[in-house]
Amino acid sequence: MAVYTQVSTEALEAFLQLFPVGTLVSAKGIAEGVENSNYLVETDSGRFILTLYEKRVKREDLPFFLGLMRHLAERDLPVPLPIANAAGDTLHELAGRPACLIEFLTGVSVTAPLSEHCQAVGAALARMHKATADFAMTRSNDLSLDGWRRLAAACRTQADDIAPGLRGQIDAALADLGARWPAGLPTGAIHADLFPDNVLFLDHTVSGLIDFYFACTDMLAYDLAVCLNAWCFSADGHDYHADLAAALIAGYESVRPLTDAERAALPLLCQGAALRFLLTRAYDWLNTPAGALVTRKDPLAYARRLAFYTGQARA
């Protein structure tokens, strides 16, 4: 959540000449998203987000992310359009980094979602899933079962330093999910990280779905499970809000009804989604140096969600 790569006004003015976007009038480094550098750029023709991709995003994944954003924006989803140059390219280089100029969308994120927000985000997610039916590119989910096993192995010896019993909880969940993880459900391009800070609202209408840098090809209902965990618990994971979950699912089904198999698999998918964020947070917790620019997120907030689904009690 910081600007890692500084871009001078002069370099930015030269970069903008690649695009039909007019003359620079303002540029501010913004603290946003995953570990990328972002600038809010204004020209005499509009506003844009300039993103420089830092080490966490793999260059070879960028065509999928940008292609998906473009696909959705062109189908009137509230997704920021990557701006193409005259040759149609959206991926460029600036200050030694892969870089992209992306449409700016207004709207604000909520930190304490209400039922209306959950209903709206469920519906937007389902619209996104329907719109990706004809999206041809694929990217495997490197944060599904195999990825969880790798992360669990990397955290195993230190997990109990975060909280006593965490290692046992992770191992038990991994064994259970390995044995029962669903197959044969409808798949497609999913967002896979649609937390409240990645959804913009104007009033209670979704005005933006942003930050597609975990998007991949996986079960559509898994995307809904990620949202149920992210939107329908208190941030610390202590409290489950059944009314918000009902609103989120109702919103989703108002656009794309779940199949019986998806509905039956939802608790298991939620368990998997809880383990996914528990593991990445635990890994970051154990591997983030003191004083780093990134705020560490509490793994236990997701250990509690996981325990909710498996019926265990945890502090």
* φ, ψ (nearest 5 deg) of residue 200: -105, 140
Indicate the residue type of 310. Answer: T
* Residue 261 structure tokens: 């198999």
> Smallest gap, in angstroms, from Cβ of residue 81 to a second copy?
17
The backbone torsions φ and ψ at residue 253, rounded to the nearest 5 degrees and listed phi first, read: -75, -15
Decide: is 284 part of the binding site for a second copy (CB under 8 A). no
Residue 96 binds to a second copy (criterion: CB under 8 A): no
Q: Which is nearer to a second copy, 26 or 259 (CB)?
A: 26
200 vs 274 by CB, closer to a second copy? 200
Work out which of 14, 172, 175, 202 binds a second copy, going by CB under 8 A.
202
How far, in Å, are 31, 247, 282, 312 from residue 293 at the CA level? 10, 36, 17, 34
Where does this chain touch a second copy (CB under 8 A) — which range of 7-15, 63-71, 73-81, 158-166? 7-15
* CA–CA dist 66, 85 (Å, integer): 14
Q: Report CA torsion sign: 4, 10, 15, 20.
A: positive
Q: Is 235 in the site for a second copy (CB under 8 A)?
A: no
Please select the residue that binds a second copy; options are 15, 32, 258, 304, rule is CB under 8 A.
Answer: 32
How many residues make contact with a second copy (CB under 8 A)?
Answer: 33
Angstrom distance (rounded) from CA 53 to CA 120: 30
Of the candidate residues 133, 172, 292, 315, the single one contacting a second copy (CB under 8 A)? 292
By CB under 8 A, tell whether 112 contacts a second copy: yes
Residues 181-200 that bind a second copy (CB under 8 A): 200
Region binding a second copy by CB under 8 A among candidate stretches 4-12, 160-168, 184-192, 259-267: 4-12
Q: Compute the distance between CA of residue 136 and CA of residue 134 in angstroms, rounded to an integer.
A: 6
Q: What contacts 24+ positions apart, CB below 8 Å, involve 147-154? A: 147/276, 148/174, 148/177, 148/272, 148/275, 148/276, 148/279, 149/174, 149/178, 151/279, 151/280, 151/282, 151/283, 152/279, 154/283
The residue range among 89-97, 130-138, 147-155, 289-297 that interacts with a second copy, by the rule CB under 8 A, is: 289-297
* Nearer to a second copy among residue 184 and residue 291 (C-beta): 291
> Does residue 108 bind a second copy (CB under 8 A)?
yes
User: Which residue stretch of 19-27, 90-98, 129-137, 216-224 sits at the interface with a second copy (rule: CB under 8 A)?
Assistant: 19-27
Give contact residues for a second copy (rule: CB under 8 A).
Answer: 1-3, 8-10, 12-13, 24-32, 40, 42, 106-112, 200, 202, 289-293
